[in-house]
């Protein structure tokens, strides 16, 4: 009897192991530009945790922050080639692949809220999806819409548009074109190296992220000035989600549905970061070492015109650029940004 029970116990254990192996789910790696502890990374954690909870072992997401697996700028190729299954990193990083990716960021754009940016991102989703598909990647939409403008942090005063001339400013993509057009020398510095670059004065300024993230990263310790608004970026879709197409096609439909549901949960979490932003902004304002700078209306107008003109030029260089421009200026007019819409060629009906 004891021997029979022993055999049954061994058989049961074997069947459990066999069942576990048979039901072993997919393991996907997600590479993001977010640094651990920042808003972008925390939102990716929301996405990862939501997928892992709902998929119940059928699909497990492993999250890797900026530079952990490879440099952020290599994320595009590594997703396309299947080195990792999924990426969440700014589309502006891929302008070297295709200048049209620059249009996912809009210098001098006046949109300044989560609602406005989400509204426009929905209108141009077809454009971004087609652009990623052209380069062999499946685009799944925006994971995060940044609720406010990025900041321009500096170790030297930049109190007017003239002060930009000759400054070394960290930027990338169409942002670098914008600051270059204003007379700056633009340099590429990865996110993990920004603190040291400020500290050693290897750069004069950098447009980077939000009040909350910049506080978490300790930039208030090494900069003295913050330009508000920075004018390079408005509220915009800052973290697209994209996947290797072969991996995505093999995924069962119910798991695809879970990924999309997790994306939408993350968008909701992104909207709530506005509260953290306002709390963090007040800490910057109250810091006696920090000077919050705003340009004169005349200087802001000059800079905005440079940015808007740049958008028109880039639209003229790419397929579907004309349609993109039409949607952009129509949206600006609809949301009340009439001067910018007319500057971009909108003709009131």
Q: Assess whether pLDDT exceeds 80 at residue 24.
A: no
For residues 195-215, average pLDDT:
93
Torsion of CA 244, 246, 252, 256, to 10 degrees: 20
pLDDT at 208: 84
The mean of the pLDDT values for the chain is 90
Q: How confident is the model at residue 234 (pLDDT cuts 50, 70, 90)?
A: confident
Using CA atoms, how far apart are residues 339 and 341, in angstroms rounded to an integer?
Answer: 5
For residues 253-271, average pLDDT:
96
pLDDT at 70: 95
pLDDT at 233: 80
One DSSP character per residue, 305-338 reads HHHHHHHHHHHTTSTTHHHHHHHHHHHHHHTT-H
| Percent of the chain with pLDDT strictly greater than 70 | 93
- The token pair at 269 is 């979490």
- The token pair at 168 is 């070394």
Using CA atoms, how far apart are residues 149 and 147, in angstroms rounded to an integer?
Answer: 7
pLDDT at 146: 82
pLDDT at 195: 94
Using CA atoms, how far apart are residues 293 and 153, in angstroms rounded to an integer?
Answer: 10
Residue 50: C-alpha distances to residues 47, 261, 288 (Å): 5, 8, 41
Sheet hosting strand 291-293, strand order edge to edge: 185-187, 168-170, 205-207, 152-154, 225-227, 291-293
pLDDT at 145: 87
Tell me: the pLDDT tens digits for 101-146? 999 989 989 998 889 999 999 999 999 999 999 999 999 999 998 8
pLDDT at 13: 39
Using CA atoms, how far apart are residues 220 and 287, in angstroms rounded to an integer?
Answer: 8
Which ranges in 81-186 belong to alpha helices (H)?
114-123, 125-134, 173-181
pLDDT at 235: 82
Using CA atoms, how far apart are residues 107 and 152, in angstroms rounded to an integer?
Answer: 13
pTM: 0.86
Tell me: the pLDDT tens digits for 45-72? 999 999 999 999 999 999 999 999 999 9
Torsion of CA 38, 117, 299, 207, to 10 degrees: 20
For residues 239-265, average pLDDT:
97
pLDDT at 257: 98
Query: What are the phi and psi torsion angles at 108 (to 5°)?
Result: 70, 15
Could you give the domains of the chain? 26-147+236-279 (3.40.190.170), 152-234+282-343 (3.40.190.170)
Write b or e for each residue in 261-270: b if 16 or more Cβ atoms lie within 10 A of its Cβ, otherwise e: ebbebbbebb
Q: Assess whether pLDDT exceeds 50 at residue 15.
A: no
Query: What are the phi and psi torsion angles at 92 (to 5°)?
Result: -65, -15
């Amino acid at each position: 009897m004891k021997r029979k029970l022993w055999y049954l116990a061994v058989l049961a254990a074997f069947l459990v192991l066999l069942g576990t192996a048979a039901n072993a789910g997919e393991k996907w790696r997600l590479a993001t530009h977010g640094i651990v502890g920042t808003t972008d990374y925390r939102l990716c954690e929301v996405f990862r945790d939501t997928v892992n909870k709902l998929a119940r072992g059928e699909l497990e997401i492993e999250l890797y922050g900026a530079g952990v697996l490879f440099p952020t700028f290599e994320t595009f190729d590594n997703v396309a080639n299947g080195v990792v299954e999924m990426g969440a990193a700014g589309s502006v990083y891929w302008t070297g692949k295709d200048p049209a990716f620059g249009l996912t960021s809009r210098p001098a754009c006046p949109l300044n809220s989560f609602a406005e940016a989400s509204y426009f991102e929905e209108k141009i989703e077809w454009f971004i999806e087609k652009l990623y598909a052209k380069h062999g990647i499946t685009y799944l939409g925006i994971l995060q819409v940044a609720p406010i403008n990025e900041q321009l942090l500096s170790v030297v005063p930049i109190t007017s548009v003239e002060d930009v001339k000759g400054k070394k400013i960290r930027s990338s993509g169409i942002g670098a074109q914008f600051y270059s057009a204003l007379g700056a020398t633009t340099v590429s510095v990865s996110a993990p190296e920004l603190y040291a670059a400020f500290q050693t004065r290897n750069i004069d300024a950098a447009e980077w992220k939000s009040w909350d993230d910049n506080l978490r990263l300790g930039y208030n310790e090494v900069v003295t000035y913050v330009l508000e608004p920075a004018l390079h970026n408005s509220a915009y879709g800052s973290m697209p989600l994209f996947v290797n197409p072969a991996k995505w096609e093999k995924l069962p439909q119910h798991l695809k549905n879970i990924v999309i549901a997790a994306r939408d949960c993350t968008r909701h979490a992104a909207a709530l970061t506005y509260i953290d932003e306002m709390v963090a902004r007040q800490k910057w304002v109250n810091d006696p070492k920090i000077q919050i700078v705003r340009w004169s209306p005349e200087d802001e107008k000059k800079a905005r015109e440079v940015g808007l003109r740049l958008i028109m030029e880039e639209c003229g260089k790419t397929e579907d650029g004309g349609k993109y421009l039409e949607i952009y200026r129509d949206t600006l007019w609809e949301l009340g940004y009439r001067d910018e819409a007319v500057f971009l060629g909108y003709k009131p009906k």
